[in-house]
Structure 1
């Protein structure tokens, strides 16, 4: 069964005739996902909602035997799911089924293609992902003790990852060599630090809660430093030696995902995972070219509004080089981002009925990651802004970037989803086509909200739209059509106002992370299409706040589920999903 078979008719037809009560099929389905979620927690692949988030005293098992056992487990879950007829489920469980089955399918496919044998790409690696443990706040002595145990578990975890990397290298399943240059820097920063106190893993010990007695603080600091010295630094040094001597020099040369073992099927599996559609690479490539042409026409109009005399390439060169468009200090960039975020706050209640309780901080990307990190990232509680290489961080793009990563984008959408009550825990997982589609839609929404105050800022938004449409062309070009790295960079350079540094880091990310870049624009197209449909059907009854609340209340869902929910929204007369105050 494919997502497209879960049509609006199946999910939401005859809503008035669907009883709210559970059905026998509901009970079978609930038993499957409840059992699987408990197993996922035991595997250290998910957090227990009844426990403090991220509080673990050990890292997950990632050895080959454990990974194969996970493949078999999820394969069995799929078989059990396919024995349930979605039509036999109640309304809410039909939505849950569509979300859950897509999630399990993606997890199974990752195991089937043994993605765990490539735990590194141009964007991140297991040795950078692990730093999450050091960046979270600790509130008790027990949390520190658990953290110290986790640090001491790092050699085992790193050895298992090394074994996976060796297996991947042996069969040619690695990132392309060209994308790995410099990605050993975070390893070296830890391995070669003069003292444990100089590493990022000592961060929680630098400032400890006052409720921990001073003598216990001293003991915990000493134990933490010893764990870093005896376990963490040697583990990093072992991986550093391997990637420098073997892995990076021997990584594959071809760029295309289709050059990997069973590569054509692998790339299609990533398309399905990241777009939640069955579109082919050729179809997506064509969509990208068509959308780029539309955006280019808008860019030319905006260039004229700015009063620029000349052709588009000259305008792009002007934007990339004129000092007026770039912050002179990191603080200036951060404060500009904060000002834009507050501009949204002043307009939020005009566009959203439900506002999340969770606030977010604006934080610079850590310096050890910044050279290879994207321009920004957002999520619950944080908007990370990259202050590295300021001449690559255009101020005219900052409004669109801020809307995407902070509010109403990721740092707004994710908390809304997390605050929904009575939702199964697997619904907290992130579906890229929905989440990135919403964030890109948020950039467009900024035009209605009056966030863009100059033609240059409007052009920055359009450049970002072109950036995401270009991803449809570049990702499929690289992975299915034989494009070179230089060809991909040239396409981005000619069609967006991104700096050369951003273009290089972005293209390397697409090369080493097949399919993920396809999420954004296809997701935005689905949301825009659903909105236009609702506006046309509802006319004067259309309420933008009710529409946005309906989209966000769903949390991350496959695009066919979102489209079906808006069909129901229309059938219900465009009413808000929340009770009237």
Structure 2
């Protein structure tokens, strides 16, 4: 933007130094295009203030998803009824207002790093509006994700919400006091869903019932939410213990247990009766557009279901071709297509007798990985990784997962393997699972986010649904590093890696099959059993996950393929100048990025170093 008065050389230099902006040769030729220092400072301040306001608005709308689970414990006494229609309307209106405010900030007045902040804030605001016109709130609970079960899993104090101080006990209690109102709203929403034909399939409601049957206790003392009272820290005073015990008993007995009992009765009767026989979102009102938006939200791309389905079939065929070579190394000489079924049936790959033995095996893998990580990464987090088994409440329906560390270091990153029966737990998938859920997968990314200098909306962005293409794509890409880390010299571990990669390819097929091509639940279960060798129960657990989280399972393969594509591009362009450790720094050094912005970052790095 030209200005009326030309700056002297000294002022020009000051503007460049202060703003950190780079000028082209054209800019160096004239001061007429130089942006005054005060304009740079003003734009930077406006962006920072808007970014902070956006973060605050988002965490108040959903403090569980956007704060606690992402490691920000400042809102651990808040719940946020984000499923209430009036709250949704206010949030969408606020996001529209912030979009207008962002457009008033002059992007070209910002330094390079601030321009990235600008672009990412624009992306986050757009993503926050993805489901403005889709009734997500009418499906408020499922067996994979519901607020009552999330708070129940926090009751141990081992998860994202710590319970080590009196203040933390009261923060958790406050959430329990707020939970009945959330449950009442969820029930109201589901009744509206019944009237509008927006309900879960009957099979999903049946999958939910065991969780809510466990949650609806008859007495406060029998409730899982009472767990903190049974495990007071030693330093608590007698008076604090007495006050907390009375408060928890009263809240759970008089408010929470009745609300959960009413919800369970509603699920067992009205909601189950109203459940649909169909499987996918294409059977819901405006379901095709709804699913397409979920694809966009999870993958940060505009890929169509048909494209993703075709890619899935192609990837399944490619990976299965490798069974011919790998089978004999495992002692298998039958048809290649049946290798996964054969491995699943072999007791020789199942050598554990206890949960403790499984955990120790994971710790040994962790030790091997940690020893070699410095060869592949310039950036490594200070935050520690711990391993804990999935709690018994959610073990039957949960998937292996990771929770990020708290920003203040009070809670470490935790990898939660799901072990239902250690004697049936196979060794083959352990290495690739650890690389994905532990390190260098989710932990390296999430822990680094807490340690690098970023705005809050970027720092606490590991578990948000619209970041799945990066977070899950990075974790799946990390599985491929088992070769560099020396783990896949073991044919058992290499089979596990390929089989998990095959799982991600199968997901492309079954997710789009159910939600866009009319596949039934049973058809999807059969396809998964045939191609992965899963038992019917295991395939059912996976398929029902994809039924209630449409598009989420697509993010893994879509994101990982993009990172592998960018690595190949960089290797070819830079030749002997290519550094894998530096490439990884570019990928994760700026936190969580949508795929288009990530590609632009890598292209910029290539151009700068070519």
TM-score for both structures, normalised by structure 2: 0.85
Work out whether residues 96 and 427 of structure 1, in 8 Å CA contact, stay in contact via their aligned partners in 2: no
Unaligned runs of 5+ in 2: 1-20, 28-33, 406-412
1:503 matched to which residue of 2?
Answer: 539
Aligned length: 560
Give the CA deviation at 1:258. Answer: 1.9
From the superposition, tell whether residues 269 and 386 of structure 1 become closer, same or farther in structure 2 (CA, over 3 Å).
Answer: same
Instruction: Assess if the C-alpha contact under 8 Å between 2:83 and 2:140 holds in 1.
Output: no
Structure 1 match to 2:195: 170
Distance in 2, matches of 1:54 and 1:132, equals 17
The answer as to whether partners of 1:376 and 1:401 remain within 8 angstroms in 2 is no
Task: Give the aligned partner of residue 85 of structure 2.
Answer: 64
Deviates more, 1:544-553 or 1:133-142: 133-142
Maintained 8 Å contact 1:56/1:147? yes
Displacement of 1:568 = 1.8
Go from structure 1 to structure 2 and tell me whether the alpha carbon gap of 1:523 and 1:539 turns closer, same or farther (over 3 Å shift).
same
After TM superposition, the structure 1 stretch with the greater mean CA deviation from structure 2, 78-87 or 272-281, is 78-87
Equivalent residue number for residue 290 of structure 1:
314
List structure 1 segments (4+ residues) > 6 angstroms apart after TM superposition: 18-21, 48-51
Q: Following the alignment from structure 2 to structure 1, what is the Cα–Cα distance between the partners of residues 544 and 44?
A: 44
Q: CA RMSD in A?
A: 2.6
Deviation at 1:84, TM superposition (A): 6.0
- Of 448, 454, 468, the residue aligned with 1:432 is 468
2:549 to 513, 521, 524: 513
Q: 1:256 to 1:51 in 2, by over 3 A?
A: closer
Partner of 2:324: 300
The separation in 1 between residues aligned to 2:454 and 2:595, in whole angstroms, is 22
Residue 400 in structure 1 maps to residue 432 in structure 2: yes
Please give the alpha-carbon distance, in whole angstroms, between the structure 2 residues aligned to 1:471 and 1:463.
Answer: 12
Shift of 1:138: 2.5
Aligned residue in 2 for 1:197: 221
Aligned pair partner of 1:100 in 121, 136, 145 = 121
1:260 pairs with 2:284: yes
Q: Which has the higher contact order (CA 8 A, sep 6+)?
A: 1
Q: 2:387 aligns with which of 362, 366, 370?
A: 362
Q: State whether structure 2 residue 396 is matched by structure 1 residue 371.
A: yes
Query: Hey, what does 1:577 align to over in structure 2?
Result: none
3-state SS of the aligned residue for 2:609? coil
Name the larger-Rg structure: 2
1:141-540 correspondence to structure 2 within 5 Å = 141-193=166-218, 195-326=219-350, 327-380=352-405, 381-390=413-422, 393-430=425-462, 431-540=467-576
Pick which of 383-392 and 231-240 moved more.
Answer: 383-392
**Corresponding residue of 2:52:** 34
Q: Which digits, 9 at most, give the CA deviation of each residue in 1:468-512, with x for residues without a partner?
A: 011111111111111112221222222224444332111111112
Q: How does 1:48-59 map to 2 (within 5 A)?
A: 52-56=73-77, 59=80
Does the CA-based 8 Å contact 2:197-2:285 persist in structure 1? yes
Q: What CA distance in whole angstroms lies between the structure 1 residues aligned with 2:91 and 2:249? A: 35
Gaps of 5+ in 1: 1-13, 575-581
Secondary structure class of the residue paired with 1:184: helix
* 1:550 is the counterpart of 2:586: yes
Per-residue CA deviations over 1:356-378 (Å, capped at 9, x if unaligned) read: 11112211111111111114445
Asked whether the equivalents of residues 74 and 108 of structure 1 are also in contact (C-alpha less than 8 Å), the reply is: yes
Are 1:378 and 1:406, in contact at CA under 8 Å, matched by a contact in 2?
no
- The superposition leaves residues 343-401 of structure 1 with CA deviations (integer Å, 9 ceiling, x where unpaired) of 11111111112211111221111111111111444543111011114466421011111
2:143–2:208 Cα contact (<8 Å) kept: yes
| Offset of residue 30 of structure 1 | 3.8
TM-score normalised by length of structure 1: 0.90
Structure 1 contact 374–502 (Cα < 8 Å) conserved: no
